[in-house]
A = this chain, B = another copy of it.
Amino acid sequence: MLSSRSSKNLLPGLARHKLVVQPYASTRHFSLAKSSGVQKERVVILGSGWAGYAFARTLDPAKYERVVISPRSYFVFTPLLASTSVGTLEFRTIIEPIRRLPGKIGFYQGWADDIDFDRKRIRIEANAAEEAASKTVVPGPFTPQSEQGDTEKAVTAQGKSVKGDLIDIPYDKLVIACGAYSQTFGIEGVREHAHFLRDIGDARRIRLRILSLFEQCSYPQGSDHLSDADKRQLLHFAIVGGGPTGIEFAAELHDLIRDDLAPLYPHLMSLVSITVYDVAPKVLPMFDQALAKYAMDTFSRQNIQVKTEHHLERLRLADGELGRRHGALKIRIREYGDEEVGAGLVVWSTGLMANPLIAELAAKQLASPGPNPPSNASSTTRHLLRDSRTGGIMTDPHLRALTSTAPTEASSEPKRSILEDVYVIGDCAVMENEPSLPKTAQVASQQATHLARRLNAGGAEAVASRAFRFRNWGTLTYLGNWKAIHQSEVDALRGWVAWVVWRGAYLTKSMSVRNKILVPIYWMISWLFGRGISRF
C-alpha cells in the first residue's frame, strides 16, 4: 500500500530520506555493526554543541561511520537562545535533531562516564529515560544528580534519583567535543536559585518564570497578598555577567516588556526594572570603546541599569511567603554590605569552567605509545595533558590530544606525545600553539569543520599535514530595539545593519532548511501579532 505522503518525493531537494514501513515491521535493519560491504572506520563524537554538531555535519558518511554521543539529542543554535527565552522565536525553531542529519548517523543519548583509551571504548550512562534532559547541569559540592532540578531527572516513586543504564561503545577514532560547564565561582545559592541560559530547557524555564512573575503581580491592588514593594522585588530582573549573553538577554527582555507586556500589564510597568551586574570595570570587554559606549547609551535610554564592579556574594530565597510562595530571591552584593537586593529572576552568565569529565580522564594512566613499549614501561606514567589555567585538554596545532609521560631515569623532562586517534575540539580543547583562543561558537565550529574536512581528505595523515588556523569573524551583540553592534578585525558596525547582516549570515550557515523557513516566519509573526506569552 502506498502512503499518501509518498507524493513528497516530487520535491527531492527538500524531502528528507524517508522509509515507508507498513505496518512497522521491517526486514531492513539499521545496524551499527560493520555490516555494509566496505568496512568503515567508526568515528565517535562526544557532544552535540557547536563543535560536535558541526563536525558530525561535515564528516563524510560515505567514508566514516558517524556515532554521536550526547546527553541531548539535538544541537542548539545558541545565538538565538535569548530570543526564545522571551518568546520572539519558538523553541523548536533553533534546535536541530542529531538524528535528522543527512546520511546515516548513529546516536546514543547519554553522558560519557568513562573512556578506555587503550581498548578504545567509551562507557556511557544513558539518560534517554529522563523525559527532558535539556537543562544546564552545574556540578554541585555533593553530586550533580541531587540538584534543585530534580523535576527534570528520572525520579523513582520513592523520590530517589535513578542512575541510567551503562553501555559500552567501541570507537576507531574519537572526537571529544563535550564543551565546558557554567562557572559559578562556588558562590552560595547560584546553583540552586539562578537560571542559566545555555540550553533550550533553560530558555523555557526563564520564559515560564518571567511570564509567571507578571501574572503573580497582576491580581487586584486592593487585596493584601502582595504589596507594591513586594511586586517591585519580584519584577526586578537581575542579570549577572556583562558579556554578550547577559547583555543580549537584558536587551531581549526589555523588548518583550516594552512590546508585549506593557500593553497587557500597564499598571505594573512602574514597578519593573532590569539590572546587569559585572565584577569588571566595563561590560562587553571584547568591543572597542566607541561600540561599548553606544551599547551603554542604548541601554541607558532603555532604562536598563548596568552596575560594573559589583561582586555578588550570595543568592538565597527571600524570607516568608514572598520566597516560599512567590520564589523571590535576595542577592547579597559586597559593595552594598548587609543590604540585600530583591529579585524575581536571576540569570547567571559569567563564563565557563572545565567539564569535570576532563579531570577524570586526565587522571587515568594510559599505555605507552609506539608499537613496541619500552621494557621499563611499568615505571613510566602517561596521562592526558591538561591546561593548568583552564583545565581543558591540550592539543597540538592539528587538534590531536596531547599526553605527557612523566620523567623516568632515562630522561629528566616530561615527554609530550600524540594520543593516536583522539581529537579534541571546542570549549574543552586548548591548543598548545594558540592557548588563548576564546571559548566561542565560532572557534568551536571552525575547529570542527577543519578537522572533519581533513579526515574526509585523507584520514590521520591529512590531519597531520595541515594545522588549524582560526579566522576571526568578529563578535555580534544584540542591544534590543532591532539594533546590534558588531566588531571584527575589519569592521565596527552598529545599528540594525549589524543585526541583519551578521545574524543572517550565521543563520544561513548553520541551520536546516526547515528552520531557515521557520525563523523568518516567526520574526514576522512576532512582529505583527506579538510574542508568545502563554506558559505551559
Contact = CB atoms under 8 A, between A and B. Distances in A.
A92 to B, nearest CB: 5
A132 B209 CA distance: 9
Interface stretch (A180-188, A215-223, A306-314, A372-380): A215-223
A301 B266 contact: no
A8 interface: yes
Interface residues of A, number: 111
A498 to B, nearest CB: 14
A270 B22 CA distance: 11
A22 B226 contact: no
A513 interface: yes
A25 interface: yes
A42 to B, nearest CB: 12
A266 B26 contact: yes
Interface in A215-252: 215-216, 218-220, 223, 225-226
A99 B25 contact: no
Contacts of A108: 218-220
A496 B223 CA distance: 54
B266 A209 contact: no
A130 B215 CA distance: 10
Given A109-B215, A534-B97, A535-B131, A517 B512 contact: no
Contacts of A72: 536
Nearest to A260: B18
The 5 A-B residue pairs with the shortest CB-CB distance in the complex, in nearest-first order: A23-B303, A128-B215, A24-B269, A165-B225, A134-B536
13 contacts: A4-B482, A16-B530, A21-B262, A23-B303, A99-B533, A129-B212, A134-B536, A154-B325, A157-B317, A165-B223, A166-B225, A167-B219, A167-B223
Given A72-B536, A131-B212, 6 more contacts: A23-B302, A99-B264, A128-B216, A129-B326, A131-B535, A133-B535
